[in-house]
C-alpha cells in the first residue's frame, strides 16, 4: 500500500514539475486583451488597392457572421478606390480625345464560346498582311 502511495506522490510531483517547465517555456496561457472599441484588424492600403490586397482582406467573426462595420468599411474603401480610378480613366480619355468604348453586344463572344469557334485561327495570310488596328495605339 505504501508503495502505491509513493508512486502516486512521485507521479504528482513529476506532473507539477512538467507543468511548471511548460508554463515557463510556453507562457501561462494568458489571453491578449480585446482591441479597443472602434479599432479593427481589417486593413487596406491608403491607395492603389491590388487584387492581392483584396484577397488578403480578413474580417472579425461574430456570432452570426462577419462584423458588419468592418465589411461596410471595406466596401466603402473599395468603392472610393473604384471611383478614383474611373475618374482618372475619364480624365485620360478626355485629355487624349478617346470616346468611351461601349461594345454593341456580347452576342458574338457568347456565340463563339457556345460554337467553339476561334476567330483568331480563322485569319488567312491575306488578313495577316493587314493587322487589325487597336484603338488608342500607335500602329508603328
Q: Is residue 44 part of a domain?
A: no
Going by C-alpha positions, the residue among 111, 93, 110 that lies closest to residue 102 is 93
Q: Is residue 124 part of a domain?
A: no
Q: Is residue 79 part of a domain?
A: yes
> pLDDT at residue 125 above 50?
no
Sign of CA dihedral 59, 61, 65, 70: negative
Count of structural domains, the chain = 1
- The reported pTM is 0.42
Per-residue confidence (pLDDT) for residue 138, from 0 to 100? 47
Q: Which residue has the higher pLDDT, 139 or 87?
A: 87
Q: Is residue 91 part of a domain?
A: yes
- Model confidence over 6-36: pLDDT tens digits? 999 999 999 999 998 888 887 766 677 777 7
Q: Is residue 134 part of a domain?
A: no
Listed as own residue / partner, the contacts of 11-16 with beta carbons closer than 8 Å and 24 or more positions apart are none
What whole-number distance in Å separates Cα of residue 30 and Cα of residue 24? 12
- Model confidence over 46-71: pLDDT tens digits? 888 888 888 888 888 877 888 888 88
Q: Which domain holds residue 87?
A: 57-98
Per-residue confidence (pLDDT) for residue 11, from 0 to 100? 96
Q: Is residue 78 part of a domain?
A: yes
What's the chain's average pLDDT?
75
Q: Cα angle vertex 115, ends 114, 117, to 5°?
A: 120
Q: Is residue 70 part of a domain?
A: yes
40 with 73: CB under 8 angstroms? yes
What whole-number distance in Å separates Cα of residue 82 and Cα of residue 98? 20
Task: Take residue 54 and report the three cell numbers written for it.
Answer: 483584396
Per-residue confidence (pLDDT) for residue 50, from 0 to 100? 85
Q: Is residue 87 part of a domain?
A: yes
Average pLDDT over residues 97-108: 64
Amino acid at each position: 500500500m505504501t508503495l502505491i502511495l509513493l508512486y502516486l506522490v512521485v507521479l504528482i510531483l513529476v506532473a507539477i514539475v512538467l507543468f511548471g517547465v511548460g508554463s515557463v517555456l510556453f507562457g501561462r496561457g494568458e489571453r491578449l486583451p480585446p482591441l479597443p472599441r472602434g479599432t479593427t484588424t481589417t486593413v487596406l492600403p491608403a491607395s492603389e488597392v491590388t487584387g492581392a490586397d483584396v484577397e488578403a482582406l480578413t474580417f472579425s467573426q461574430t456570432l452570426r457572421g462577419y462584423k458588419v462595420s468592418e465589411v461596410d468599411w471595406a466596401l466603402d474603401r473599395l468603392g472610393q478606390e473604384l471611383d478614383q480610378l474611373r475618374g482618372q480613366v475619364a480624365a485620360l480619355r478626355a485629355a487624349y480625345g478617346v470616346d468611351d468604348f461601349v461594345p454593341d453586344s456580347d452576342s458574338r463572344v457568347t456565340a463563339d464560346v457556345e460554337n467553339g469557334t476561334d476567330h483568331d485561327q480563322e485569319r488567312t495570310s491575306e488578313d495577316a498582311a493587314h493587322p487589325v488596328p487597336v484603338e488608342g495605339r500607335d500602329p508603328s
